[in-house]
Amino acid sequence: MALSKKILNLAEKYRGYTAENLSKLVKISSLSRQEEGVVKELKRQMEEAGFDEVRVDPFGNVIGRVGSGKKILAIDAHLDTVDVGNPENWEFDPFSGEIKDGFVQGLGAVDQEGGAAAFVTTGRILKELGFDRDMSVYFVGSVMEEDCDGLCWKYIIEEDKIRPDAAISTEPTNLNLYRGHRGRMEIEVTFKGFSAHAAAPERGENAIYMASQACLAIEKLNERLKADEFLGKGSVAVTAFVSGSPSLCAVADYARIHLDRRLTWGETKESAVAEIERIVRGMEATVEVLQYKEKSYTGLTYGMEKYFPTWKMPENHPVVQTGVSAFRSLFGKDPKIGKWTFSTNGVTLNGLYGVPMIGFGPGNEVLAHTPNERVPVDDLVKASAFYAQFAYNISID
């Protein structure tokens, strides 16, 4: 029997197993920096599936391995989720994990514990097939992605000393093959004014007015940002405005705005900062790229600058084409090739460290960060087969 047929048969055989594993993950609340429970459950699932090694690193990432070769393929799924939001917007319990009408329902089913459940089955398939390639396949349940994209992989590469030769992100792609997305960064602009009694505002310098002028100019900046033919247009948005004054009867001597900047191909941290500095030139203002430094659930503090580089893989790259061949072997057709709208751990894996990678995941990304998340069980089955086929197909020099 052809290998692809064996893989598909096993993925289908474990359909219920995969869905139940995801259900168990969804039932555990796992906000960023609070992932301990879901990490323990995924570790248990990996051990049950017969992985060669399973461990939790000091930062809290759970790392399973199948195979013991020198070349490394990493398959990543972040385990943290956003919060529930308004419970009244949910048609079902966000933590039900109910398997109903061919879907697994609940918070994180799409973004993105479905990828983790699928790759547990992949590990089981590889073990059952006697995976004997000269390769180590690392399955990573990563933490704190929602808080700080890629921080988990910065730790894994720099501290755990695991640097993949190729990688797959299991973020939702609707079973399409993704090869990049825009980068992003968080910028803070602080304005200093001079307070005066509000009865005579001309005696002061109002920081709110300065910040407001900057906001209007930033709105115009967004309209003229350039576009890349694949990744699309960059964007900038003011997402917070804070001000302060000695009293409500005084001119504001302080204001601060927060910017979400999405970076298309060719845009850099330096170019994005320079654009804002030009807007506030002549004002008493400082422009700063923010830093992230928080404790993980293990108590370890680790951080990085909140600059998450743009990345894209050429469509003819061997890793992308391995994805195409794996999909074709399993499903008898070519995949749709695209990109994410949002950001992923690829900002570090490829954006910072240049690891060749693709995205392939169960579920539709439009359901990420929305009520009523649910993922098709069919997607879980196909994703678990795809990761196994990819591991067999890839050639790493």
Question: What values do phi and psi take at 322, rounded to 5?
Answer: -65, -40
Helices (H), 35-138: 36-48, 114-129
41, 80, 253, 365: the catalytic one is: 80
Q: Could you tell me which of 121, 140, 122, 180 has the C-alpha nearest to residue 308?
A: 180
Per the listing, tokens 């678990």 go with: 384
For residue 145, indicate whether it is catalytic: yes
Report how many helices (DSSP H) and strands (DSSP E) the chain contains, helices first. Answer: 10, 22
What is the residue type of 25?
L
Per-residue buried b or exposed e for 148-184, using 16+ beta carbons within 10 Å of the residue's own CB = bbbbbbbbbbeebebebbbbbbbbbbbbbbbbbbbbb
- Please pick, among 35, 57, 145, 186, the residue that the annotation labels catalytic: 145
What backbone phi and psi angles, to 5 degrees, belong to 222? -55, -35
Cβ neighbours around 24 below 10 Å, total = 17
Determine the residue type at 56: V
The residue with tokens 């997305």 is 181
Catalytic residue flag (residue 98): no
**Torsion sign, CA atoms 143, 144, 150, 155:** negative
Cα angle 354, 358, 361 (rounded to 5 degrees) comes to: 140
Contacts of 334 (CB under 8 A, 6+ apart): 324, 327, 328
Residue with tokens 């393929």: 73
Task: Report residue 226: phi and psi, to 5°.
Answer: -80, 165
Catalytic residue set? 80, 145
